[in-house]
Structure 1
């Protein structure tokens, strides 16, 4: 038989237990749920471009912006955060919430920056993850139209002598410098590196004859080649490019030589896989739109539209490949 004391305990304890249970259920029901592909995005998406407006990556971002907005049914806002070789904007991406609402676009330098900058505020392959391997472009060895070097063989013959030729780049550790050094390694030649703060100043000095050569992305130099202001000596793709008919591939003289400039989309590490998958699908569908693909191709880009796994594989392999060159050629920030 229940005692008076037991009845008292039951009368006061049960309501408290019920209340505690209600609090527990409520807490579970209102706790943040992981982002889901069928509910994301529920608000605008910010696309950080860690480089100046008008540059290569920004051009690709502007091409996909409207198509991506339509596919996501949310505004896609481009935020240019230039500086320090792209590391300032990339750090902002790495610090952002891993919810799919802040993403970014980078180019080839992203894979090598950890070898160049010893004190990055983030770990490239730990704090960030690939979303899409978007586009790539061959690079082109160009000289001024007034240059005495008419062919690749002319250039190589001159570069056999130390300090006889100079080459421009957009900065230490840039793909311009790395591919130029890879070329000189393959050819057994050398060149004096002349870094600039951007493609514009580098091209201006090249056009003015203040520097002998440059290996730059096809989108950057194609207008000048077609206008007769620069002479293309070779392309770095594995074979000739139809957009520059008559220009040989470096691989024709140095077997196996192949290098590209590329653009990829990234997101903070920890972004839910289903959101990464949805984002990659919509980005790649936008890139495959015939009208957008034609604009990109005409501009010197090749659409890849690779998924997250392909983007991460590219970044890993490029880091290993160029890390070796950076070490062997003693490439440092100047």
Structure 2
């Protein structure tokens, strides 16, 4: 038999375990030109929350009573496809299933000898590429500038901070615990960190940590922290909008200070993006990241949850900040 995880309900506000359903089905058999895949690692990411809403976006919403999909590392168990053999490992957008059949389209082979398999979902996967393209193409950091990163201990934020140091910038991170602040300053090389959960005046805390102002603001969080950081941006600053996890579970449209005047008077560029915008350049990005990783210029953390049945809970834990670095489920 085979197990799949379906989206059973469209959440209102914060998702719950009851929104997911485990479905037993027959283990599939590959036909001609197909491969049988066994899931090894599943990526759980905040953006999946947006796909649970039936609304127009940059990617279609999940269908009810059908499997959720995300980045997955799988092993080829049986092959009737000329380009794959049993024992190959692949990375692709696949269903939350223990076993599944694929025609090979959209799959990329990964080498377990080059890096741990889970790294291809993080530092050498979508999160690493998100950090690289967002910072280099939109942030355009220059040596000596100040970069501020929210969600700094997360999968994307931790890479952004390290890239900032490679580009000879001062880097300040915001995260949600003293342990995470210690991590980003000791392991990831950030110059300073702010624990937003113990800070009463975020605007003042940002000003103290960034006395020369902020030139690049890489935002993964949104909400009131975004407002506090924007108040400390320099003329000509670049604001990279990557995520807004603080608002993902809101049932009403969030409001806050208007940024129009700040953008105008300081000639600030603010741009949102998704990593899919750079799909044609993925190999270039992977080569850059792999080179820095090999040269020990990049470090990465993972929060690995064991067991297929724990995939929904691992996803929910993202909204409580229980992950350090990339959240991955190991099957």
- TM-score range relative to shorter protein: 0.3 to 0.5
TM-score normalised according to structure 1 size: 0.34
Higher relative contact order (CA 8 A, sep 6+): 1
Structure whose residues are more often strand by fraction: 2
Give the TM-score taking structure 2 as reference length.
Answer: 0.34
Give 1 or 2 for the bigger CA radius of gyration.
1
